[in-house]
Amino acid sequence: MRRGLGGLLLLVLVSGAAPPDRTVTLVIGGCTDGYLEPCGCGGQQAGGLARRAALVTAVRQRAPGAVYLDLGRLGPPARHAELAAALAARLGAVAVGCGAAEARQPAHLAVARAAALPLTNVAPPEATLPAMVVFDAAPGVRVGVMSICLGPLAGAELAARLGELAATATAEGAAWWVLLSHFDQATTARLLDRLPVARRPAVVALALTASEPTPRWTADGTTWVTVAAKGRSLSVVEAHHTNGRWQCQASTELVIEGPRDDVVQGWVDACFAAQKVTESGAPTPPAAPAGPTGAACAECHAATVAAWRQHPHGRAVATLEALGRDVAACLRCHDEDLRQRGVRGAGADRGVHCLACHPASAAHLQAATSRPGTISVDACTACHTPDHSPHWQPATYLAQVAAVCRAGH
């Protein structure tokens, strides 16, 4: 399991008189962005609700009593946001940061509230959303959580509000606090620079839009961690109280290999099954003119077409069907007919076929003297994006494809 640091900005307070030696463990996740699971194409990928649930369970086995904090950013689409909210509830999230989507879209806010999630936002879209959630992190240790995102408060106003809350925490005997931020690092740092050193957070967790978390760092006594987009990582912060002082250690774990939570995986499977039913009942749109497929090319290139139909790209639709993921969102890359014509393919060439790499196939069939077009990376990157294929190597892939296509020559 790879480790790093990533996250969203969360504010945590520990209050009361100095407790005896102990450790408080916080697990910070979230930023689902409607991403239920990685598609599995093009190498190692991170993310997935079921894997996140299993990883949080593993952390709790190592550190009994670890508290889960969710950074929000649940969706879209709405059904996916509901699953992300259900996961936060299943993991017992003691606080959920209100991101910009939740703050601006009542439907997203309603999803979180329907799951009874303890939302928090320093600048809430409505007065009923608390600026801070306070909970018991351990016996005798109270923790408060705040989340900040783009909203009605300007920089100076937001910093002043944070200062007021920090002062309140100090007055109530808080030992330290942590901030969850949906702003970037530079903006968050400018906000904290407006605060007296004594009122700055001990931990800042940043919500990233990037696929990979960044290593943790410390500045002016504050530990910064990050959480990657689409639920790809968790940040684990351990606060140790020894000799009358609190010290923080942090790490990041990518949500990649390992077991999946069976219950959460069942939710995801059911979501895709329901989506298939919905799509099957939708009217079929008019199709664009058909282009050539392997069946048309097989007259002269039978061996090549036969070899390609056994290649993973040639079997792309069948692979999705076996996984129960043959929905439009996935088929747009796996089914060349859907991508080119807007309708699902049929027959032996339902996957990625000749037209994907040879855009001039029609002209070649009409005039054998023409060439079907040269394969270029541009034909691949429409689907092999950093999201779907983070470790994809174009040169290696093109060499493998060329070897298959040479089978008929």
Q: What is the pLDDT of residues 292-312, one digit of tens each?
A: 778 888 888 888 888 888 888
Q: What is the pLDDT of residues 151-199, one digit of tens each?
A: 888 889 999 999 898 888 777 766 788 899 999 999 999 999 999 988 8
**Stretch 15-34: mean pLDDT:** 79
Q: Percentage of residues in the chain with pLDDT exceeding 90? A: 34
- For residue 265, the SS3 value is helix
What angle (nearest 5°) sits at the alpha carbon of residue 96, between those of residues 92 and 99?
A: 155
Q: What is d(CA 222, CA 43) in angstroms, rounded to the nearest whole number?
A: 36
Exposure b/e, 322-358, CB count within 10 A at least 16 = b? eeebbbeebbebbbbbbbbbeebbeeebbbbbbbbbb
Contact 200, 220 (CB under 8 A): yes
Tell the residue number behind the tokens 């989507």, with chain if given: 101
- For residue 90, the SS3 value is helix
Q: What is d(CA 65, CA 379) in angstroms, rounded to the nearest whole number?
A: 50
Q: Answer with the residue of higher pLDDT: 206 or 342.
A: 206
Closest CA to 297 of 314, 320, 317: 314
Which pLDDT score, from 0 to 100, does residue 15 have?
46
Which pLDDT score, from 0 to 100, does residue 3 have?
37
Top-ranked range on mean pLDDT: pick from 50-64, 338-352, 355-369: 50-64
Contacts of residue 247, defined as CB under 8 A and 6 or more positions apart, other chains included, come to: 239, 240
Q: Is the pLDDT of residue 403 over 70?
A: yes
pLDDT-based confidence at 206, cuts 50/70/90? Answer: very high
Which pLDDT score, from 0 to 100, does residue 25 have?
95
Q: Is the pLDDT of residue 221 over 50?
A: yes
Other Cβ atoms less than 10 A from the Cβ of 241: the count is 20
DSSP assignment string, 184-214 = -HHHHHHHHHTS-GGGS-SEEEEE-SSSS--
Q: Is the pLDDT of residue 5 over 80?
A: no
Q: Which domains does the chain have, with CATH numbers?
A: 3-265 (3.60.21.10), 285-408 (no CATH)
Q: Answer with the residue of higher pLDDT: 47 or 140.
A: 47
Mean of all residue pLDDT scores within the chain: 84
Contact 122, 145 (CB under 8 A): no
At 352, which helix (H) or strand (E)?
none
**Stretch 262-274: mean pLDDT:** 96
Q: What is d(CA 328, CA 400) in angstroms, rounded to the nearest whole number?
A: 27
Which pLDDT score, from 0 to 100, does residue 132 have?
84
Closest CA to 4 of 227, 221, 179, 180: 227
- For residue 141, the SS3 value is strand
Q: Answer with the residue of higher pLDDT: 127 or 78.
A: 78
Q: Which amino acid is at 241?
A: H
pLDDT-based confidence at 8, cuts 50/70/90? Answer: very low
Q: Is the pLDDT of residue 265 over 80?
A: yes
pLDDT-based confidence at 7, cuts 50/70/90? Answer: very low
Q: Answer with the residue of higher pLDDT: 119 or 10.
A: 119
**Stretch 274-281: mean pLDDT:** 90
* Angle formed by the axes of helices 302-310 and 394-405, nearest 10°: 130
Contact 30, 205 (CB under 8 A): no
Contact 8, 205 (CB under 8 A): yes
pLDDT-based confidence at 350, cuts 50/70/90? Answer: confident
Which pLDDT score, from 0 to 100, does residue 127 have?
58
Tell the residue number behind the tokens 């060499």, with chain if given: 399
Using alpha carbons only, how large is the chain's radius of gyration in Å? 25
Residue count (the chain): 409
Torsion of CA 80, 96, 237, 255, to 10 degrees: 0
Closest CA to 206 of 191, 194, 195: 191
Query: Phi, psi (5° rounding) for residue 138?
Result: -165, 165
What angle (nearest 5°) sits at the alpha carbon of residue 55, between those of residues 386 and 69?
A: 90
Q: What is d(CA 216, CA 7) in angstroms, rounded to the nearest whole number?
A: 10
**Stretch 387-403: mean pLDDT:** 81
Distance of CA 113 to the CA centre of its chain: 21
Q: Is the pLDDT of residue 20 over 70?
A: no
Q: Answer with the residue of higher pLDDT: 177 or 7.
A: 177
Tell the residue number behind the tokens 């069948």, with chain if given: 318
Which pLDDT score, from 0 to 100, does residue 125 have?
57
Q: Answer with the residue of higher pLDDT: 41 or 244.
A: 244
Contacts of residue 297, defined as CB under 8 A and 6 or more positions apart, other chains included, come to: 304, 305, 354, 361, 365
End-to-end CA distance of the chain: 44
**Stretch 105-117: mean pLDDT:** 86
Which pLDDT score, from 0 to 100, does residue 367 have?
73
For the record, the structure tokens of 335 come out as: 């089914």
Which pLDDT score, from 0 to 100, does residue 59 have?
95
Which pLDDT score, from 0 to 100, does residue 369 have?
65
Q: Which amino acid is at 46?
A: A
pLDDT-based confidence at 6, cuts 50/70/90? Answer: very low
